[in-house]
Every structure is written in structure tokens, then in C-alpha cells.
Amino acid sequence: MTEVVSSCRQALLDARSERRCALIPYLTLGFPTLPASLAVLAAIESMGADVVEIGIPFSDPVADGPTIQRTIDVALRQGVTLRSALTAVAEGSDPGGARLLFSYLNPLLAYGLESLPAALAAAHTKGVLITDLIVDEASEWLDIARSNGVETCFLVAATSDDTRIDRAAESSSGFVYCISTLGVTGARKGVDPAARRTVERLRTRHEVPVAVGFGISRPEDVRQVAAYADGVVVGSALMSALGNATEPADAAARAVEFLQPLLDAARA
């Protein structure tokens, strides 16, 4: 299997050492079209995004709000699957940066967990975040991931007790994803102060890098999170910025225009 050197964990540790915050855009593969989403992926990697979350369409995205649900519906109606998404990404060039597969568990099971690491390597993708897989039920995947050098990221939230935070931190070979607020994904006005408290609880106990997501949409949100976390995830707001730009060049231009102020804020 081809070794993938673009580590999600290292990307956040590098940002920490440089006293800045890693910018982690999320995109749904297949929105607005598969070619357009691939153009967006290339554009945001070229502009300097530290990690890109590659969202896989799934019929029951229970953790996602209406914006990302809409993008997933568009992608599914075009027939985009985990297999076609990974194949399309693999046909592109090695980005030289970090990629994180963002998926629910069912598509991975249908693909075959044992077969996934080789497909990820071909797509220059080092890490996986499985939205609905908790640490308690992850032993099969973790054994496969560890033996193939694939990083895994787990979620924590303000409702996570110390035991849950410990298990997520100890099992995350990539980074820990802190959900900023209870509920589903979607742009909001401001970042819930609970996110900072959750990150601080984790950091008093562990050195694993941590990123904050859900509801990040403005440069001021990025600056706020950068004060206490290693990375910041921007998803719904980026997908909204793409609008109905089905032409690849237009979609890529809109993504860069939206993300540039957020990237500047992350690096300030």
C-alpha cells in the first residue's frame, strides 16, 4: 500500500508550533457537481488550507443541518458514492497537504473496512472521521486503521464527561474534533462559549491537537477559536458560498473568495 505522508495530526501540531490556527474547510464531494467539487478541493488546497474535510454523501446525515443536507441530496441525485468520490479524488494530483475523509459509518461498511485504507492512500487521504462511530464501538476500525497508518479523529462535545473525553483523546491518532454547540451543523451567530470550556477540559489532560467546528462562518469566529484551539472547521458557510455555481472555475473562485478572510484570520 502506498504510504501517505500528509498527516492531519501534524498539520495541526505545525499550526500550534507556529502560534496560529489551522484552517479546515469541509466540502461535500459532488456539490454543486462532482467536477465543481473537485475544482473547489484543488483551489482551497492551493490557497493553503491546512486540512480539507472531504464529505461523503449519505442518505441519513443525522448530524448535519439543512445546508449540508441539501448539498448531500444534490450529490446523491448525481449518483456520487464513496467509491466514485474516492476514485475521482485519486485521479487528481497529490496535494502535498492533509485530507480527512468525513463520513457516516454505513458507506464505509458497504465499501468494506479492510479495503478502505488502500483506497484512501490512492486518494492521498491520511485521516478518517466517522461521524456516528463512538470510541466504545470502534475497535474493529481502529485495529484496521492503526495497522495501515490511517489516522482517526473522534468527536467530543460539552456534554462529554471526563471519561468520554479521555477515551476520545487517547484513541484519536489524528486530532479531536470538538463540537462547538449542541445540535446539527450550520452557520450561527457567534461561537458557543461552551466550546472553549470543552477544549480547556481536554487540554488539562491531553496533548492531542484539537479543532473546533459547527457554526463557524466569519473571520471573527475564527479569531475567537484561534485563541484556544489548534484548528477551526468551516463547512456549512462554505457550502452556502458556492451557491449554484455548477461551473468548476466559478465554484473554485467563490470558495477562495469566501475562505481568504478566514484563512487570514487563522494566520493572524
By annotation, the residues acting in catalysis are 53, 64
**How many angstroms separate the CA atoms of 30 and 124, rounded?**
18
Pairing verdict, β 22-28 and 151-153:
unpaired
9: helix, strand or coil:
helix
**How many angstroms separate the CA atoms of 244 and 223, rounded?**
29
Cell 496560529 found at: 20
Closest by CA to 24, choosing from 216, 250, 268, 244, is 216
Query: What does the block give as the cell for 170?
Result: 487517547
Rounded to 5°, angle at Cα 83 from 68 and 99: 60
Closest by CA to 103, choosing from 139, 77, 75, is 75
Upstream peptide bond of 209 is cis (omega within 30 degrees of 0): no
151: helix, strand or coil:
strand
Type and span of the H or E element at 232: strand 231-234
**Taking the CB of residue 223, how many other CB atoms lie within 10 A of it?**
16
Upstream peptide bond of 32 is cis (omega within 30 degrees of 0): yes
